[in-house]
Amino acid sequence: MSQLKAIIGLGNPGADYEATRHNAGAWLVHAVARAAGSELRPERKFLGRHARVRLDGRELHLLEPTTFMNRSGGAVAALCQFFKIAPDELLVAHDELDMPPGTARYKTGGGHGGHNGLRDIIRALGNDKSFHRLRIGIGHPGEARQVTNYVLGRPGKAERGAIDAAIDECLATLPQAVDGDWAKAMNRLHSFKG
């Protein structure tokens, strides 16, 4: 299995969206930067905020696209081209409606599942779907027509606490994921119930 070279955290830009459920992927990338004693800084050539950190002795790029979610692909493609990163060396962290808050799952490859950020990344990578995903559960509002308002809404205190607990558990499993030991990372993360 390939080792990771970059973690992308998806979200929407600006203060209005910062604390919304759709930004769970961005929350993860900021947590990784904090844990590494770093912070993401604006980088125009990558259409986002970028940091280069060390995680368990390995260099890793962190990126939070500052485009809107449905335009995330341009930022990911720019980072990959500049640093010569292959799609299977990427981990894309994103919110996941089909999992409850307090859960997170690794996944390799697959479709976009209706997620506009993933859809645009797949398109920008020339339809290469081999990148890894870190799905952070945010729960589902119950009806399809409520999804947009739900993902663009802010979680309640208990719900945000559960999401943050899952993100903390993600951080604990990242060294294995970065090393390409997906089985070990998945075993721990997938058994976590926040």
Q: Is the dihedral of CA 74, 80, 81, 82 positive or negative?
A: positive
Prediction pTM value: 0.97
Structure tokens given for 130 = 């081999």
CA–CA distance, 175 with 167 (Å, rounded to integer): 14
- Reply yes or no on whether 140 is catalytic: no
Helix (H, G, I), strand (E, B), or coil: what is residue 91?
strand
Does pLDDT of 2 surpass 90?
A: no
Of 89, 31, 30, the residue nearest 60 (C-alpha) = 89
Find the catalytic residue in 22, 30, 50, 94.
22
Q: Detail the residues annotated as belonging to a binding site.
A: 17, 68, 70, 116
Burial-class residue 35 by CB neighbours within 10 Å (0-12, 13-18, 19+): middle
Q: How far apart are CA 87 and CA 139, in angstroms?
A: 28
Give the pLDDT confidence of 140-159 residue by residue, as tens digits: 999 999 999 999 999 999 99
CA distance 96 to 161: 16
What are the residues whose beta carbons fall under 8 Å from the beta carbon of 97, sequence distance 6 or more?
138, 139, 140, 147, 150, 151
Chain mean position to CA 71: 15
Binding site listing for tRNA:
17, 68, 70, 116
Span 74-129, pLDDT tens digits: 999 999 999 999 999 999 999 999 999 999 999 999 999 989 999 999 999 999 99
State the DSSP H helix or E strand holding residue 77, giving kind and residue range, or none if neither.
helix 72-83
Whether the predicted pLDDT of 1 surpasses 80: no
What residue ranges define each of the domains in the chain, with the CATH number in brackets? 6-191 (3.40.50.1470)
